[in-house]
Amino acid sequence: MTSNKNLVPRRDFIKTSALGLSALSIGLPLNSALATSCGSSGKDKLGIALVGLGNYSKGQLAPSLLETEHCYLSAIVTGTKEKEKEWAEKYNIPKGNIYNYENFDDIASNKDIDIVYIVLPNSMHAEFTIRAAKAGKHVICEKPMAVSAAECKAMIKACNDNNVKLSIGYRLQFDPYHKRIINLSKENTLGSINYVNADFAFTIGDPTQWRLKKDLAGGGALMDVGVYCIQACRYSFGQEPIALRAQAFNSGNEKFKEVNETITWQMEFPDGKISNSTTSYAMSVNSLFVSAQKGKAQLMPSYGYGGIEGFIKDEILEFPKFNQQAAQMDTFALNVKNNTESIVPGEEGLKDMKVIEAIFKSLEQNGARILI
């Protein structure tokens, strides 16, 4: 989950489609019209249950599910009674499709739920992914996938053992700007890529929030927004890092007594290629730079829900307004319906977690070079 609701501009997700206008004109909630349009089975559109109703679910995922073509919001899981009433009324959620964290396992018998989207603090990702898999539901889990590689492996195993699909919430791999960057190495557009710089940081607010608690977050900005930098370096090169060094900086602010304030790290890739990254909860930066034999590319700002700008060599990149979350969820719904694999499966999250663990290991060893 991107951690600060003010970090990037909010998007206007409510589209005026013919279906939406029709629903409004006869006084039906939009989700009711969507479910009706699917026929009695409802399986033309798969039902998604959002687990955790924080800022990302409220501001991005739920509104995006009013735009999706292959899935819709069918259920919610929350530990807050007040949210049950608010969400039920806003999204026409039946009482029988509202769960809490204690009765979560009862989703196994609910045919309205095909996919569970885990949007909880990082330390809860593994538990609820595994419980969802045992309930026979396909899973999207927000990034970071978990707080350790061991947890990632357990999540992958649980989904495989229960014959359900697992996808990680890497929304940027569906974004047209980032897809162009991904294709640079695949299509050899600029020749060999030799250097990548990926930075993502913001100034965090409320000192009591869970992202600053190690037992819930697992590691501060690196786990929160730094993972986007790891992803960007990996898919810009189209290769996996082989080693890294990391450094941490702390001003002594009491806010960061449990997690690192700022981390920088350098990754080595095959054939002498290198990357450099910074993540922090105490500064503002949002960029991706790629240097290659025949030119360079840059996205800045790079990691937001919208407003991305950039160029590749002499080409200014311009794409129509695009809903990353809707594309991500629709694509996974199609993966489930067509029995195809997600482009961001659990194994992708595991690769990033191995890098994160290597960064923390390097920090523990005063910036030592760590093989990955």
CA atoms within 13 A on the CB side of 171: 21
**Beta strand 166-168 pairing with 262-268:** unpaired
Dihedral angle computed from the Cα positions of residues 71, 75, 77 and 81, in that order, rounded to the nearest 10 degrees: 140
Which candidate in 91, 117, 177, 228 is catalytic? 228
Active-site residue flag, 15: no
Neighbours of 322 (CB within 10 A): 15
Write out the two tokens for 130: 């595994």
Which candidate in 45, 143, 165, 273 is catalytic? 143
Write out the two tokens for 322: 């695009």
Query: Rounded to an integer, what distance in angstroms lies between the CA atom of residue 54 and that of residue 35?
Result: 25
Query: Rounded to an integer, what distance in angstroms lies between the CA atom of residue 139 and that of residue 157?
Result: 13
Active-site residue flag, 101: no
Look up residue 10 and give its DSSP letter.
P
Q: For the chain, first and last CA: distance in Å? A: 25
Write out the two tokens for 287: 């960029």
Write out the two tokens for 98: 């509202």
Write out the two tokens for 137: 């539901």
CA atoms within 13 A on the CB side of 123: 11
Write out the two tokens for 158: 């649980």
Look up residue 223 and give its DSSP letter.
I
| Residue 68 phi, psi (nearest 5) | -65, 150
Question: Any idea which residues carry the catalytic annotation?
Answer: 143, 228
